[in-house]
A and B are shown apart, each in its own frame.
Chain A
């Protein structure tokens, strides 16, 4: 599309402003983790790394990170299996009720988290004997299915069925076709969906609040509990800054996946 010079300038300015809106708050959190003022006054009063060493020794943080990783791994595993199965049916076959089913898969993420949270809490505590380690994983998996489903379904729609048909015409059975043709073709979609599911679960606080058993403090729960304690403020801020810097890793990996030759979107 041919744009006038002025239109390009306006669009560039809007883009820069948008990027500033996205990055400024994150930048300030990282900046404050080195701010020697305990009340985080802006501009910073001085430079210190003492908050980082203090946070590294905090046992509550360590425990919370471990809990979060285990929960996210469990939820990701379940959602990878269920999401792929659902995508294999919905993206490749036409059948009665297909639209309703795709709506059902989106529902856990389209409905407010607090609704899912209290619904699951009610069932777990009143009918299944209380909250445990597994109830959080079940809660997380329920809303993680959709991200795996979306990635795999999009891949199926793009790749069509001709490769698999060719494979079966040449005598391969379904298992062999899945192993040698389908799986390699959807692998990067599984990886992307799995990473999204992991990030979504690692980060979740609302459903977690209602489905985690006593003492199952994930990292977001720990942050929330300590957010309003003034003497914990610098440690909370370091954890926040660390999470921001950590979030660069999936970006880098996602970029690698998107740029990989097997995936031309």
Chain B
């Protein structure tokens, strides 16, 4: 392109804000809409198809049998409820651990120590996902694990692999995703507001409860997007530390090769839950805290 025409393009972009935005968004939006949304759409169209019982080939005719099967079979309802309960427990546990830690780091410790502590607290984000679940496999091993060694002298039996270890492993996995937004939210609070609260006679706990928590609420919700969604779709932790029970991800994974339409229909459950969740919280300003 000659310098002259380049200058013309620049001039045009300079005057025309819409053209500038379009030029910037063209590539990323093509990628996300065509590749990502396109694939999602193709998957969910598959959910209204079915497979041939003998050849396992997908038959492209409209049917609601996958959804009828999911809604009529109690087993799938149980898996859904169990998965949602696990995701909710993980989210609550993460928040319970992350709130006091973030408050300590953002408001109590000296500014010098602060970056060191926050770096230490989010280190696990960089450690491998699989390594972290593996770490809980060694922690929870019923014969030789650390927890068995720790609890046996007190006469308590280690829970071993099962529901508890899945919740613990998932909490461990997603905790940094909760700490980062909450810490950032608490660090942003202006001192004047906290001082005003105590000047008006509020004890520290009341200030925390009435001022700090409501103001960091969007940050907590932002963290919960990750802890909830990532827990809901997980099927690997269950395989490694879960023993025998199933989550939604396991059902999707098991049916994926032989009955993709059914698998797609099950996969729609976490997607619907997450889309509902995201639309509900969009107004709370949580998405700006991600």
CB within 8 Å of B: which residues of A?
Answer: 1-4, 7-8, 11-12, 14-15, 18-19, 21-22, 24-26, 28-29, 32, 37, 39-43, 81-83, 85-86, 88-89, 93, 95, 99, 101-116, 118-123, 127, 138, 141-142, 145, 150, 173-175, 199, 202-206, 219-220, 223-224, 227, 236-237, 240, 243-244, 247-248, 250-251, 254-255, 258-259
Contacts and interface: CB of A to CB of B under 8 A. Distances in A.
A111 B172 contact: no
Given A43-B149, A103-B287, A111-B270, A224 B236 contact: yes
Given A112-B233, A114-B267, A40 B144 contact: yes
A193 B163 CA distance: 35
B108 A8 contact: yes
Given A19-B120, A28-B138, A85 B128 contact: no
Given A3-B204, A112-B234, A203-B128, A251 B123 contact: yes
Pairs of residues from A and B, 8 with the lowest C-beta to C-beta distance, nearest first: A112-B233, A25-B135, A89-B24, A247-B126, A86-B28, A119-B39, A41-B144, A119-B43
B198 A39 contact: no
A165 to B, nearest CB: 12
B159 interface: no
Interface string B99-127: 01101110110000001010111011111
Interface stretch (B10-18, B64-72, B73-81): B10-18
A138 B108 contact: no
Contacts of B164: none
B200 to A, nearest CB: 13
B38 A240 contact: no
B235 interface: yes
Select the residue from A11, A112, A203 with max chain B CB neighbours within 10 A. Answer: A112
Contacts of B127: 26, 243-244, 247
Contact of A39 (B143, B148, B226): B143
A119 B135 contact: no
Is chain B's interface secondary structure helix, strand, loop, or mixed overall? helix
B271 A115 contact: yes
A202 B131 CA distance: 12
Interface residues of B, number: 96
A157 B158 CA distance: 49
Is chain A's interface secondary structure helix, strand, loop, or mixed overall? helix
B249 A11 contact: no
B139 A28 contact: yes
Interface string B125-160: 111111110111111010111101100000000000
B27 interface: yes
Contacts of B270: 111-112, 115
A204 B253 CA distance: 16
Contacts of A15: 100-101, 104-105, 117
B46 interface: yes
Contacts of B145: 42
Nearest to A113: B233
Contact of B123 (A88, A112, A247): A247
Contacts of A121: 256
Nearest to A149: B28
Contact of A248 (B115, B123, B226): B123
Contact of B25 (A40, A85, A145): A85
Contacts of A85: 24-25, 27-28
Contacts of B146: 24, 28, 42
Contacts of B33: 104
A118 B25 CA distance: 27
Contact of A236 (B134, B204, B271): B134
B92 interface: no
Nearest to A258: B115
26 contacts: A1-B194, A1-B195, A26-B124, A29-B131, A32-B138, A40-B144, A42-B149, A104-B29, A106-B287, A107-B36, A112-B232, A113-B230, A113-B233, A116-B40, A119-B39, A119-B40, A122-B264, A123-B38, A127-B42, A145-B31, A174-B14, A206-B233, A224-B130, A240-B128, A240-B135, A259-B115
